Structure 1
Amino acid sequence: MSKKQSEPAQESGSAPRGRGGSLHLSANKLRWGMLIGALGAVLAALVTMTVTGFDSDKVEAHQPGAEPVVRDKEFSSAAEGDCLSWTKPDRSDLVKVNCADKHLFEVAGVIDLSAYPGREFGDGTRHPDSLRMTELRDEHCVSAVQRYLGGRFDTRGKYTVNVMSPSPAGWQHGDRTLRCGVQVAATTTSPASTGSIAEGDQSKVHDAGTCLGINQNLPTDPVDCAQPHAVEIVGTVDLAANFTGGPPSEADQDKYVEAECNRLATDYLGSPDAIRNKTLTMFFDVLEPTSWLAGSHKLDCWLGKGVDREGFAPIVGSARGEILIDGQAPVPPPNTGRSTPAPLPGAAPLPPQPQPR
């Protein structure tokens, strides 16, 4: 998906060809800016969940025929549609919770590795390493999530597909089941969500006033606006309020979302001139047809400072107050009022302008 850009106080053109004249971010660069969140979520997931599902430093011994440890009872009884949560880094306090409450993982399917051909996961085998767990996630969990949602999973939305496995102790005791599911995409620790993915909008949106951190000039997870960040969210546009039926065209989205983002920015900042005076740019996305058909209908309005072909400049402070852009206070452009247009070729000369006395 390509990120659109708009500077309402300056010249207007068709997105995404660099509205405002001073910013010319390529569509590819901005597309990578949007995808880094999903990429980071995958990398974080490999570290935190697909290795064991629990902290490998907390292995507990079992006697033959003994019951699994208490923490694995919740895991091994989790079924499709259950939501899981925990507070400890080793996830030893994992519990099933109501999906309407805050949770970290929603189960979309259960995979029994004991039915896998061969003896790869037989008795006495070692827990699969992170690479094998990633392969199992891709082999089984992507399709499991699609089945769970009736083919309506938004691969560009707020969730990412992941897998949980038994603890090392549970594996030693013979538990060979995996839980496929979804969690909120993030570049670091996955944040909690409320409500089942099967019942809600999967749009990757944030509350107004949220600032997205910056890494290698690209947006990452939400951070305090006093910390360096790439963009600030000024509001969210619900395209379903204006479009019905099939996916709206990119041109129709551009026209509607730009107007809505400019209105939201003015309300958020308190002045139609604030964006121009702070030398910032409004960015907005476009919904792909696959996202629309999956039920994602909302887009964020981003406020940031683009760097030509490099992504975003780091900003410190909320745009509602004083900010620093790349360590410097913004200098408002001069406002000389309305300029006199140049005469067309062959037109009569303009009358002399009165001179000040």
Structure 2
Amino acid sequence: MMPAALLAALFLTSGCSIWEIERGEDGQVLRETAADVFDLQKGDCLNDSQVVDAAELQLTDITLVPCSEPHIAEVYVDVQIDGDGPPDAARLTELFEEHCVDSFTEYVGTDDPSAAAALKVTSFFPTEESWEQGDRLYQCLLVSIDETPLVGSAQDLATS
């Protein structure tokens, strides 16, 4: 199991994208593209260094890149959450364990910690402000432990 890692708050101000993201038939990003955070989806790779070690992060736009190019993070969980209000600290811990930790093994293809030892996990979640605007998106991201850019997708990393 991965230890609980950095949690980052995602402040979303708009659900409308102003950028067109060019994706292949498999849904993967084809070229570096500025994007709204609402455009992030499972399998996307992004190049925003503040994702790595921000204790509280507020992003409205990000840079998506093809996973074959050097990148800072990769989205591996993309789920909608429910509730009467934004998740509190206890609910964030629960969401992290339920989604980020439990899905890590499936995504990278092994439960052997040494196979993915260069990776750590972070998450994006609704803030109070973004929750009021309808944000219910919870995402888990893989990042490099030593901040070395990743190249290639981490999906099935251990089996390749």
Q: TM-score, normalised by structure 1?
A: 0.32
User: Deviation of residue 247 (structure 1)?
Assistant: 2.6
Listed one character per residue, the Cα deviations across residues 126-176 of structure 1 (whole Å, up to 9, x for unaligned) are xxxxxxxxxxxxxxxxxxxxxxxxxxxxxx32738xxxxxxxxxxxxxxxx
> 4+ runs of 1 displaced by more than 6 Å?
none
User: Deviation of residue 276 (structure 1)?
Assistant: 4.3
Distance 1:246 1:211 in 2: 29
In the alignment, which residue of structure 2 is the partner of 1:245? Answer: 84
Partner SS, residue 260 of structure 1: helix
Of structures 1 and 2, the one with the larger relative CO (CA 8 A, separation 6+) is 2
Distance 1:203 1:225 in 2: 17
Instruction: Tell me if structure 1 keeps the 8 A contact 2:107–2:154.
Output: no
Letter in 2 for 1:231: A
- Which one has a bigger Cα radius of gyration? 1
Residue 319, structure 1, aligned to residue 154, structure 2: yes
Distance 1:263 1:257 in 2: 9
Instruction: Tell me if structure 1 keeps the 8 A contact 2:77–2:99.
Output: no
Partner SS, residue 285 of structure 1: strand
User: Deviation of residue 296 (structure 1)?
Assistant: 0.3
Instruction: Tell me if structure 2 keeps the 8 A contact 1:282–1:304.
Output: yes
In the alignment, which residue of structure 1 is the partner of 2:116? Answer: 278
List runs of 5+ in structure 2 lacking aligned partners.
Answer: 22-35, 52-61
In the alignment, which residue of structure 1 is the partner of 2:98? Answer: 259
In the alignment, which residue of structure 2 is the partner of 1:22? Answer: none
Letter in 1 for 2:75: I
Letter in 1 for 2:116: K
List runs of 5+ in structure 1 lacking aligned partners.
Answer: 1-7, 17-26, 35-155, 161-181, 185-189, 193-201, 324-357
Instruction: Tell me if structure 1 keeps the 8 A contact 2:108–2:116.
Output: no
Cα-Cα RMSD = 3.1
Instruction: Tell me if structure 1 keeps the 8 A contact 2:69–2:152.
Output: yes
Letter in 2 for 1:316: V
Q: TM-score, normalised by structure 2?
A: 0.65
Distance 1:229 1:313 in 2: 9
Distance 1:254 1:304 in 2: 19
Instruction: Tell me if structure 2 keeps the 8 A contact 1:158–1:203.
Output: no
Distance 1:270 1:255 in 2: 23
Identity in percent: 23
Matches within 5 A, 1:45-56: none
Instruction: Tell me if structure 2 keeps the 8 A contact 1:205–1:299.
Output: no
User: Deviation of residue 237 (structure 1)?
Assistant: 2.5
